[in-house]
Amino acid sequence: MTTQFAKAYGFERRDVTLANWRAAPFSRFSFGHAEELVPSAIIAATAEVSEGEPVASDLLPQALPLGLAGQPDVRAYLDYAHTDAFVLMKAGTIVAEHYAPHAGINQRHIVFSISKSLTALVIATLEADGLMNPDAPVTSLLPEAAGSAYGDCTIRDVLDMRVSLAFDEAYLNTDGAYARYRRATLWNPADPSQPDETLLAFLLTLKKDAHPHGGAHFYASPDSDLLGILIERATGESYADVLSTRLWRPLGAKNHASVTVDAEGTARAAGGISVTARDLARVGEMLRNGGMVDGKRIIPEAWLTDMLTAGDHQAWVDGKSNFFPNGRYRSQWYQSGEPDGAFCAIGIHGQWLYVDPSTETVIVKLSSQPNPLDDELKHDNFAFFRALSAWTA
């Protein structure tokens, strides 16, 4: 007998395990239910409020023929790009939404490395209150980092991913440092032949590479997990509680968020946050409005200006990125370097928060893309967002 679950997903719930939750087709369920696979902490909204019905998106397929990747219209492109949830805002108003049959308007979805960008927004508020100084050494808050790769770098080096780190961001690795990293975060099953590690213990084993800190951009998720630990050291509170009080509640989020945690309760600040698409769009709209929500400042203006303008383009070029040829990276956010001033947060498996200030556009696209990276689809998505930004209803 076929269950309702199997009719919805094409497989049974029991088929989804910690060993396969990031692989297709199981990710179509697990990316919306990460808390069922990995221990998680709630990032509380002030009060959960049902969002009601999605805004109709029927106008888009007729209004914006695409031709991207051979897809004739927006709806076809969203399906082609493994989209679970999609929100398009213009001038502060949601003008179109789309949810896959297995997703929903009030359902959280893991956003992977968009978590890094949300973490940085919390640090912005701590800096404003004098609780964290980006120019200070990491050891000022985490003295036990001495002797590791982080023992002689600044928090700014970590924020901008310019740490000299002997580490390979190899998402499909099964037997090296990245596999240890996954196990330490409880994202992969334990290996009986290997000792258990916590996230912090793993981070403190990482070694410095041969070159100095502060050079080329070097994307490494452990940097962002370290930022989450620094947040806890600076405040004496849990990462989830700090994000709730300093970002999620002031933002006016309608649904609780969550973050995966390790065996000690340490948050996966680099990639473990799950949020609804609409709440993520609220983050983008807040930034588009200069860090303000309903006349109240959430993110300091000076920090936002720095994030948008101070990234080192040469460091980006020297990092040999194959994306954003004019781009920069600052405080865990990407700047496109294009004349429209677009900036974004990006997560593996097709997670995007895209903001184009020139057209007052905010776009959220949450996905269960089978390939974690898929550079070709990343370029298609960027072209898709630029087309939507240029479109006027």
- Report how far residue 26's alpha carbon sits from residue 18's, in angstroms, rounded to the nearest whole number: 10
Query: In this structure, what CATH number is given to the domain that contains residue 161?
Result: 3.40.710.10
Contacts of 20 (CB under 8 A, 6+ apart): 26
- Please report, for residues 118, 162, 175, 176, 243, the alpha-carbon distance to residue 302 in angstroms, rounded to integers and kept in the order given: 17, 22, 43, 41, 20
- Report how far residue 291's alpha carbon sits from residue 300's, in angstroms, rounded to the nearest whole number: 7
Contacts of 222 (CB under 8 A, 6+ apart): 165, 167, 181, 202, 203, 206, 270
Regarding pTM above 0.95, the answer is: yes
Which of 71-80, 235-244, 320-329 ranks highest by mean pLDDT? 235-244
Tokens of 355: 């903001």
Looking at the chain, the whole-number percentage of residues with pLDDT higher than 70 is: 97
pLDDT digits 0-9 by tens, 343-389 = 999 999 999 999 999 999 999 999 999 999 899 999 999 999 999 99
Lowest mean pLDDT among 66-75, 98-107, 227-236: 66-75
Give residue 263's identity as a one-letter amino acid code: A
Tokens of 42: 């709630």
- Report how far residue 184's alpha carbon sits from residue 141's, in angstroms, rounded to the nearest whole number: 22
| pLDDT mean over 24-33 | 98
- pLDDT at position 319: 95
Give the chain's domain count.
1
- pLDDT at position 297: 98
- pLDDT at position 176: 82
Mean pLDDT of the chain: 94
pLDDT digits 0-9 by tens, 275-331 = 999 999 999 999 999 999 999 999 999 999 999 999 999 999 999 988 999 999 999
∠ CA 228-234-237 to the nearest 5 degrees? 75
- Report how far residue 66's alpha carbon sits from residue 347's, in angstroms, rounded to the nearest whole number: 24
φ, ψ at 351 (rounded to 5°)? -100, 135
Helices 277-288 and 114-128: crossing angle, nearest 10°? 50
> Quick check: helix, strand or coil at residue 267?
strand
- pLDDT at position 200: 98
Residue 175 binned pLDDT confidence (cut-offs 50, 70, 90): confident
Reply yes or no on whether the pLDDT at 62 is more than 90: no
Domain holding 334, by residue range, is 4-390
Cβ-based neighbour number of residue 68 at 10 Å: 19
Residue 65 binned pLDDT confidence (cut-offs 50, 70, 90): low
What positions carry a catalytic annotation? 113
CA atoms within 13 A on the CB side of 260: 31
Looking at the chain, the whole-number percentage of residues with pLDDT higher than 90 is: 87
| pLDDT mean over 258-285 | 98
- pLDDT at position 59: 63
- Report how far residue 271's alpha carbon sits from residue 187's, in angstroms, rounded to the nearest whole number: 11
